[in-house]
Amino acid sequence: MEYLDIFINEIYKIFFLVVPILVSVALIVWLDRRVWGFVQKRRGPNVVGPFGLFQTLADALKYIFKEIIIPASSNKIIFILAPIVTMTLALVAWAVIPFGENLVLSDINIGILYLFAISSLGVYGIIMGGWASNSKYPFLGAIRSAAQMVSYEVSIGIIIINVLLCVGSLNLTDIVLAQKNIWFVIPLFPMFVIFFISALAETNRPPFDLPEAEAELVAGYQTEYSGMMYAMFWLGEYANILLMCAMGSILFLGGWLPPIDIYPFNVIPSPIWIIFKILFLFFLFAIVKAIVPRYRYDQLMRLGWKIFLPFSLLYVVLTASFLFYFDMLPTKEF
Amino acid sequence: MLFHSIFFYFFSIIAIFSALMVITSRSTVNSVFFLILDFISIGCLFIMVGAEFLGIIILIVYVGAVAVLFLFVVMMLNVAQQKQSWFIGKKSSHIPFGLVVSVIIFLELLVVLGGWKYKENVMSSSNLLLNESISNTHQIGRVMYTDYILYFQISGIILLLSMIGAIVLTYQKRDNIKKQSYINQISREKLTSIELKKVEFEKGVKIDD
């Protein structure tokens, strides 16, 4: 009986985390298209609901009523599994994101590694979808994304090491609390820039959206998908983008902490701050999508392996030596 | 404790089932997918016994990187069509080799695990004092970077060597291909990039060099 209580309590908490995330994914798609429209001097979606806010809901409704077409020569099980994997992985990672001092679903002491592991598993949805479609364009898209995501994970991992050197703990709450005096974006600003660009590549956003480059690959790994299965890929992708924004705001922008701990700022509740930071990072994502042309594939690989990797490694050495020389290494006992 | 054992049997049944499916499933890509499932359930088992760092590292390294490359190679080589008929149909030459290897592995495990269980002071080569109160990430860090720093670095160098070896084996220097030189592109200036040539009659100029 005791277990049942815990179980129901957890499900209740998970429900109140997942529903806001799904709603905000819908709104974030609207924001993305709106920003994109304004940059190009268009209006963007503005018809359905106030300011067009319900556009995504209308789209989702349309997807639900469309027929799901499964190609005859596809590997059916893996074909159906792929969007489910993408969507699930994008949602489970939110379990460790702290929205406040004690406002976190599961406060595990390897939170950042968990986030990193889940985001590195995200490649499977794409590979499975691309291979199971049994068609040329999806397969090419899948192969591209496999190489791309594996290479940019390396630099994200090293950037995380940089932050961890300053924190001395893998727990996300500890990472945020370590930024009480100064957000890591200031001492580690180059790492923040590289993290942002790597996050663009990791989530297949423009200018690195080569797995679904419509000029070359129709729609990449999503070519054969239709109806709700396509919508799940799409929702999973945006949930992943939000997750990367959340990760960036926790690692560099001080999570739920206000910019300065004085009166008008510190009465605002902590979830508002982290949501504001996530929105700010997402706004940057949207602007980048609108103003930057797509990279060529060899340039993408060169950027990842020949520029970001050596530079972030060098910065690890710099950070470590700085902290060691000035005797600032975190030596918290656990 | 009941829930603990339910989860333990759940993960271990999945692990054993998927390990069997890796060697018996007909298409190679399915084998790799079952291998991934196996890695994930082993990672979950690690987390269950309290080694959460090792469990997550298994997820990151094996599932996130190694298995992706496996999948990549298997898909690219297009061996998915090759029918495996090891257990059904005609006789296969793989089984004797497989049996020999697995018997050797079994004996090794028997010696190591049995020795570890019953003759701890004979088999164990370490004298670690583990502090139960600190998290196992810190524990691993403390042991790995102090007592075992030499082994750690040697294994790193072995990995580096194998990487360099693989690059040397597969690298082919090709001439006659056009390469983009970023330094040249960036350092181009108006003065040096435009050149006025006097074209001789009936000879032309040689461009593109």
Q: What interhelical angle do A55-65 and A2-39 show, nearest 10?
A: 110
For chain B, percent of residues with pLDDT exceeding 90:
15
Q: Which residue has the tokens 């042309």?
A: A293
Q: What interhelical angle do B67-77 and A136-167 show, nearest 10?
A: 160
Q: Kindly state whether B21 is in contact with chain A, defined as any CB-CB distance less than 8 angstroms.
A: no
CB-CB contact of B80 with B74 (8 Å): yes
Q: How big, in percent rounded to 5, are the helix, strand and coil portions of chain B?
A: 65, 0, 35
CB contact under 8 A, B75 and A139: yes
CB contact under 8 A, A110 and B134: no
**Pairwise CA distance, residues B72 & B29, whole Å:** 10
Q: Which residues of A touch B52 (CB under 8 A)?
A: 108-110
pLDDT at A334: 46
CA A122 to chain B, closest CA, distance in angstroms equals: 9
**Per-residue pLDDT for A44 more than 90?**
no
Ranges B62-66, B158-162, B178-182, most confident: B158-162
Q: Kindly state whether B73 is in contact with chain A, defined as any CB-CB distance less than 8 angstroms.
A: no
CB-CB contact of A282 with A115 (8 Å): no
**Pairwise CA distance, residues A229 & A64, whole Å:** 9
Q: Which of B33, B52, B133 sits opposite A108 (nearest CB)?
A: B52
Of the listed ranges A130-139, A220-229, A304-313, B86-95, the one predicted with least confidence: B86-95
Mean pLDDT of chain A: 85
- Predicted confidence band at A12 (pLDDT cuts at 50, 70, 90)? confident
- Predicted confidence band at B207 (pLDDT cuts at 50, 70, 90)? low
pLDDT tens-digit profile of A65-96? 888 888 888 888 888 888 998 889 888 888 88
The residue that leads in pLDDT, B161 or B117, is B161
Q: Which of A108, A121, A143 sits opposite B63 (nearest CB)?
A: A121
CB contact under 8 A, B3 and A78: no
pLDDT tens-digit profile of A232-250? 888 888 988 999 999 999 8
Ranges A230-234, B132-136, B194-198, most confident: A230-234
Of the listed ranges A55-64, A100-109, A207-216, A318-327, the one predicted with least confidence: A207-216
Mean pLDDT of chain B: 80
pLDDT at A119: 85
Residue B90: Cβ within 10 Å count: 5
Q: Kindly state whether B26 is in contact with chain A, defined as any CB-CB distance less than 8 angstroms.
A: no
Q: Kindly state whether A208 is in contact with chain B, defined as any CB-CB distance less than 8 angstroms.
A: no
CB contact under 8 A, B64 and A143: no
pLDDT at A316: 92
**Pairwise CA distance, residues A306 & A314, whole Å:** 12
The whole-number average pLDDT for the span A148-157 is 87
Which one of A4, A80, A118, A127 would you mutate to disrupt binding with B, by most B Cβ within 10 Å of its Cβ? A127
- Report the length, in residues, of chain B: 209
CB-CB contact of A246 with A122 (8 Å): no
Q: Which of A116, A124, A298 sits opposite B60 (nearest CB)?
A: A116
Q: What interhelical angle do A227-251 and A111-121 show, nearest 10?
A: 150
The residue that leads in pLDDT, B104 or A139, is B104
Q: Specify the CATH architecture of the domain B1-91.
A: Up-down Bundle (1.20)
Residue A246: Cβ within 10 Å count: 26
Residue A266: Cβ within 10 Å count: 13
Q: Kindly state whether A3 is in contact with chain B, defined as any CB-CB distance less than 8 angstroms.
A: yes
Q: What interhelical angle do B67-77 and B28-48 show, nearest 10?
A: 170
pLDDT tens-digit profile of B80-128? 455 555 555 555 667 788 889 989 999 988 888 777 767 666 555 555 6
Quote ipTM for the complex: 0.79
Q: Which residues of A touch B53 (CB under 8 A)?
A: 110, 113
Q: Kindly state whether B70 is in contact with chain A, defined as any CB-CB distance less than 8 angstroms.
A: no
pLDDT at B78: 63
Peptide bond into A207 cis (omega under 30): yes
Q: Which residues of B touch A143 (CB under 8 A)?
A: 72, 75-76
Torsion angle (degrees, nearest 10) of CA A51, A54, A56, A60: -160
CB contact under 8 A, B59 and A170: no
Extents of the domains making up chain B: 1-91, 93-125, 135-173
**Pairwise CA distance, residues A145 & B36, whole Å:** 18
pLDDT at A49: 78
